[in-house]
Amino acid sequence: MAISKPLRRLLLVLALAFTYFVYDFASEYYAAQSADASAESGVEAFFSARRHARQGHTNNWAVLVCSSRYWFNYRHMANALGMYRTVKRLGIPDSNIILMLADDAACNSRNKFPGSVYANKGRGLDLYGDNIEVDYRGYEVTVENFIRVLTGRVADSVPRSKRLLTDDRSNIFLYMTGHGGNEFLKFQDNEEISAFDLADAIEQMWQKKRYNEIFFMIDTCQANTMYSKLYSPNILATGSAQLNENSYSHENDQDIGVAVIDSFTHHSLQYLEGVNKTTRKTMDDFFSTYSYDRIKSTAGVRTDLFYRRLNETLLTDFFGGVAQVESVEDIPNSDDTRTASGSQIPLNAESSTTHHVKDNREASSMADAPELNPTGTSPSPSNLNRRKSQLQKVQKPSSMDDWRRGMKLWGASAVIGGLLLWALRS
């Protein structure tokens, strides 16, 4: 049966009208979905920014490993103890330091100065002293224990003092010294750890969110080959000697009878001795002091896994203690303008500011502050709830949006009405 011309026109108009309203409905639906997603992302971004400060970390740790033993390796123990003293002086507490040491030199029968370890022939500074905490000593210094410390896969019986209790906000200074070769480091002349073992252990740390950034330093022969297999992100590495090159001792002490420190570590400690907890020196400043004449070998630096610029990375981001203070921009009141330690912060201050601890008393006062959240601040809960509710609100349509929607509806009605009149004409 043939369809009349007016009926065909009417069906065409109805099809066009249906298509238009479907399109309009879909546009409004997806716009609402986008608004909801934007609001949720705003809330998440706000609280994510509070969790992750500009420097990306809230605590520093150090893992210091002397993999040698026996009297003739005296210098390796002095290397590790020198680094131990330096990171403690710059603010990392013993609770955040894991020290692995054979510990067989200070009380060795051949030691002319019992209970002491020196790193220079003048013997002006006793590195052993009365305030040293060795976490793994003697035959506890093994490859297995070292990897277990890094990965956190330790037995329940292991005390907290022997655990690396880090998280994804922790910067770790990892220092190793001993005898090594191409892509391996010996542990007490009994076993070895390879560059692949180290790389896989650090990858486990990354997968388990056990670090934010790692600074890996190693002093051994052919040291630079030990970081050649690393592949995890956020790692800065340096070593004392390149492939097929030895790392040499700095000086001998005739009274002690052996070399007392290695050149690379001696140079590093000499530089670090000139900085304090509030220094603005950067890793770039530190690496620029490397010289073959001073170190007697070709020290190397690997930066391709590290996302920050070296001239913006402070030495104290790895060597020093750090405390985190953050402020929340909100309606001015006493809760918003006062930090956990009681100091005033301007309302227009940056959302997160890292303050390095000036002394142990200041660090302890911040640790004892009431109602601290994980990032180290004490904002009012009501202010946080108010800010969250503000961010969760989807922006309501304005009067201009209503006017546009109304004009669009009237225009569509006029066009459809005109088409209907055209379709019904005989």
Active site residue ranges: 179, 221
- Please give, one letter per residue, the 3-state secondary structure of the chain: CCCCHHHHHHHHHHHHHHHHHHHHHHHHHHHHHHHHHHHHHHHHHHHHHHHCCCCCCCEEEEEEEECCCCHHHHHHHHHHHHHHHHHHHCCCCHHHEEEEECCCCCCCCCCCCCCCCECCCCCCCECCCCCCCCCEEHHHCCHHHHHHHHHCCCCCCCCHHHCCCCCCCEEEEEEEECCEECCEEEECCCEEEEHHHHHHHHHHHHHCCCCCEEEEEEECCCHHHHHCCCCCCCEEEEECCCCCCCCCEEEECCCCCCEEEEHHHHHHHHHHCCCCCCCCCEHHHHHCCCCHHHHCCCCEEECCCCCCCHHHCECHHHHCCEEEEECCCCCCCCCCCECCCCCECCCCCCCEEEEECCCHHHHHHHHCCCCCCCCCCCCCHHHHHHHHHHHHCCCCCCHHHHHHHHHHHHHHHHHHHHHHHHHHCC
